[in-house]
Amino acid sequence: MTEIRHAPVAPTRSQWLASGAEIDAHRHDDHQIVYAARGVLTVTTSAGSWVTPGNRAIWVPAGTVHAHRAYGELELHLVGLPAGSNPLDLETPTVLLVTPLLRELIMEYTRGHDGQGAERDRLRAVLLDQLRASPQQPLHVPTPTDPLLRAVCEILQADPGDTRTLVELGREVGASDRTLSRLFRRNLGMSYPQWRTQLRLHHALILLADKTPVTTVAHRCGWSSASAFIDVFRRTFGHTPGAHPTR
Kindly state the average pLDDT of the residues 138-143.
86
Question: Which is higher by pLDDT, 113 or 236?
Answer: 236
Distances (CA, A) of 179 to 18, 29, 106, 146, 185: 42, 40, 45, 12, 10
Q: Give the mean pLDDT of 200-219.
A: 93
| Domain positions in the chain | 5-137, 144-243
CATH hierarchy code of domain 5-137? 2.60.120.810
State mean pLDDT over 184-207.
Answer: 94
Residue 77 contacts residue 98 (beta carbons within 8 Å): no
Q: Give DSSP secondary structure letters for 149-180.
A: HHHHHHHHHH-TT----HHHHHHHHT--HHHH
What is the chain's mean pLDDT, rounded? 90
Contact criterion met (CB below 8 Å) for 162 and 156: yes
pLDDT for position 115: 59
Asked if residue 184 lies in contact with residue 195, where contact means CB atoms within 8 angstroms, the answer is yes
Superfamily of domain 144-243: Homeodomain-like (1.10.10.60)
Q: How many CB atoms lie within 10 A of CB 176?
A: 12
Q: What is the mean pLDDT of residues 85-103?
A: 90
Q: Is 67 exposed, middle or buried (0-12, 13-18, 19+ CB in 10 A)?
A: middle
Q: Is pLDDT of 227 > 90?
A: yes
